Each structure stands twice: as C-alpha cells, then as structure tokens.
Amino acid sequence: MSRKKELVRSYYPVFGSLARKCSVVFTLFIVFGLLASHQCAAQAVPDTSLNNIIGDTLHQKKAGPDVQIITHRPAPGADTTSMIVEKKGPFQPNPKKAGLYSALVPGLGQLYNRNYWKVPVVYVGIGVAGYFILRNLDSFQVFRKAYIGRINNAYPTDKYVGVYTNSQLQQLQNDYNKYLDMTILFSTVGYALQVIDAITSAHLKNFDISRDISMRVRPVGTQTGVGLGLVMNFR
C-alpha cells in the first residue's frame, strides 16, 4: 500500500505540470480566437466590375455556383420568353469569419475560403503534433518513474538497471520534459499560423495576378543623364 501511495505521489507533479501546460495552451487558443474575431473589421468589398446582364435563357444551364438567376414578372403584353440573369462577381470570403472559424475549429476557415487542399495539411500537422506530444509525455513519465524508484529503493528493479545511472535518468527526465514543452509551444504557433493563413487567404482570394499587370525595366533619360526606370502597366 505504501508503494502504491509513493507512485501516486510521484505522478502528481507530472499531471500537475501537464495540466498547467494544457491550461496555457487553451488560454492561448481563446486569446487567438478573440483576436481573430475582432481583426479585419473592415469588410472586403467584392469586385463588381464583372457584373453584367445576360438576356439569353441558355446561360441558365451554364451558370455556376457564383451566378444568381433572378426572374422578373413580365408586364402584361410583354415577351415572356426571356429572363434576366444577373451574374455576380467571384466568391469573396469574409476575413473576419474565416479567422473566427479557424480559431474555433482548425481547418474550418480554409474550408470556408474554398482552399480545400489546405484542410488535409492542417490535420496532418495536428496529427504530427499529437504524436510527438504523446511520445514525449510517455517517455517523460517512464524515466521519471524509474528515477523516483531509484531514489526511494536501495535495490532498484527497473529495466534501466545497469543501463543508466541515477544522474542519467534525471537528465533524460529533464530532456523529455523540455521536449514536451517545445512540442506544445510549436503546436500553439502552428495553430496561430493556420488562423493567420485563413485571414490572409480571405483577403487575397481575388487578388489580381493576371497578365494585365506588368512590370519592366527600361532606360530613362533625364536632365542629368541616362538611367534605368521601373515601369508598371495596369490595363
């Protein structure tokens, strides 16, 4: 019974330390969520230059998810064979919503932005982080248990007898505790990065990278001589 009580007491610092780490991580999650919900208060204005009116009923079948079909009731005696189809601009996500969704559920903001290929990347990162957290935690507990058993028992019977000395077990315990802290820290940074990515991707969803924007360097003559100038064209 006394041996059991000693083992229970030996695990108190382990679970206490882990609880403190988890509380810090959850606090950071809440802080990042609140920051994401209050960032980007200015709404992104969608591009309305693509709005046009199409008076052909054949365009209904070609309409994609970004096309809204509006039927107007014709006046008496007017031609009832035509419909007015209004084509909306490209999908423009709300950065505030994207950041909030990613803060609540990792990867949900990327799904909202229609960046579907990023969702598996986010969850692969979560899986890798979870694997290293569990591995470092398990190794820390194993070496801590062996080290405490060496201290409390003059004739230790753990599996590391003859392999590691007491000082080596203590060093291994401290090393895996440090690895656990670093893994939790990197996981928190990765969580924050996927929130920032969701906000940034929402802002740059319809950023113009077409060939209408060009940049070149050409000679420029001035009053003092000849030099090089940077020319940018927007068409």
156: containing domain? 1-39+94-206
**Residue 4, domain member (yes or no):** yes
**Residue 64, domain member (yes or no):** no
Closest CA to 88 of 50, 60, 43: 50
* Residue type present at position 78: A
| The pLDDT value given to residue 145 | 92
| The pLDDT value given to residue 230 | 64
**pLDDT score of 232 more than 80:** no
Domain count, the chain: 1
Query: Angle 50-53-57 (CA atoms, 0-180°, nearest 5)?
Result: 125
CA distances from 22 to 16, 50, 191 (A): 10, 49, 14
| Residues 6 or more apart in contact with residue 62 via CB below 8 angstroms | none
**pLDDT score of 187 more than 80:** yes
Closest CA to 198 of 90, 75, 105, 82: 105
**Residue 198, domain member (yes or no):** yes
- % of the chain surpassing 70 pLDDT: 53
Alpha-carbon torsion, ordered 121, 126, 132, 136, to 10 deg: 160
CB burial of 207-234 (b: ≥16 within 10 Å; e: otherwise) equals eeeeeeeeeeeeeeeeeeeeeeeeeeee
- Report residue 74's pLDDT band, with 50, 70 and 90 as the boundaries: low
CA distance linking residue 99 with residue 199, whole number of Å: 5
**Residue 21, domain member (yes or no):** yes
**pLDDT score of 209 more than 50:** yes
**Residue 133, domain member (yes or no):** yes
**pLDDT score of 72 more than 70:** no
| The pLDDT value given to residue 147 | 92
- Report residue 211's pLDDT band, with 50, 70 and 90 as the boundaries: low
| The pLDDT value given to residue 206 | 81
**Residue 72, domain member (yes or no):** no
CA distance linking residue 96 with residue 44, whole number of Å: 10
Q: Residue 75's CB: how many other CB atoms inside 10 A?
A: 8
Average of per-residue pLDDT across 13-34: 58
For residues 151 and 227, which has the higher predicted lDDT (pLDDT)? 151
Which pair of structure tokens corresponds to residue 12? 């108190």
| The pLDDT value given to residue 162 | 86
**Residue 114, domain member (yes or no):** yes
**Average pLDDT of the chain to the nearest whole number:** 74
**Residue 68, domain member (yes or no):** no
